[in-house]
Amino acid sequence: MTPEEFLAAVETSAGAELERLDSALAADTPAGGFTAESALRAAARSDAAARDRFAAWAEGAVDDVLHDTYVDVAEREAQHYERLLAELPDESVESTDSGLDEYLRDVRNPAERLGGGFVGRALVESRALARLEASFAHHGESRRADILQDLRSETEPDVQRGADLLAEFCRMDDDWERALDTATRAVVLGVEDWVALGESDVESRS
């Protein structure tokens, strides 16, 4: 399998879930039920979780390429977290154990980490950021929309980056299949996390 074939397979297997995310965070409606601040807070929580996860993976990585890659993403997600936090009244936003976080915590195989932690997570995160960006722009909050656009433009390349790295670490077809299964599961759980957060935000205000 090539990186391009892998990404096409992920889009096929998880396409319905990504469309569900698009619908949940439609630009012309309150984004999935989120208020402006709660949307930014949800994105900050996601970045904090990614920061911690990639930092932990870097500590245990024995391969230099994976170590440096994990460190790079952890540092970027820390920067994203700080940019979002600056838009909030909170002194800090703690990461919470979402379904995606719990799932990825138990993933050990490099191919599965690249499939789920990179490709799957980045597909969901960049899609969510794009929809929130459109929602902020639609409601006249161009400055915040620009911030989300910046974060999305730095997150989206992880999809291709993860697929390219898989070509180095997948030695057999089974490795690609495990990566595909993990990526698909990560998308399903990531979408569910975003949808559930929006529903919870609505309930807290009712």
Are 144 and 87 in contact by the 8 Å Cβ rule? The answer is yes
Between CA 49 and CA 105, with CA 72 as vertex, the angle to 5 degrees is 35
Number of independent structural domains in the chain: 1
Q: What is the pLDDT of residue 205?
A: 42
Confidence at 200, pLDDT banded by 50, 70, 90: low
Q: Are the beta carbons of 45 and 125 closer than 8 angstroms?
A: no
Q: Enter the pTM of the model.
A: 0.90
Range of the domain at 165: 3-205
Q: CB of 38 within 8 A of CB of 50?
A: no
Q: Residue written as tokens 């920067």?
A: 79
Helix, coil or strand: residue 142? helix
Residue 164 pLDDT more than 50?
yes
Tokens of 44: 């900050």
Instruction: Name the phi and psi angles at 96, rounded to 5.
Output: -120, 160
Tokens of 81: 């977290």
- The CATH number of residue 18's host domain is 1.20.910
Distance in angstroms (rounded) separating the CA atoms of residues 150 and 147: 5
Determine which of 75-84, 132-141, 152-161 has the lowest per-residue pLDDT on average.
Answer: 132-141
- Band the pLDDT of 98: cuts 50, 70, 90: confident
Q: Does the structure show a pLDDT above 70 at 123?
A: yes
- From CA 37, how far away is CA 25, in angstroms rounded? 15
Distance (Å, whole) CA 196 – CA 188: 12
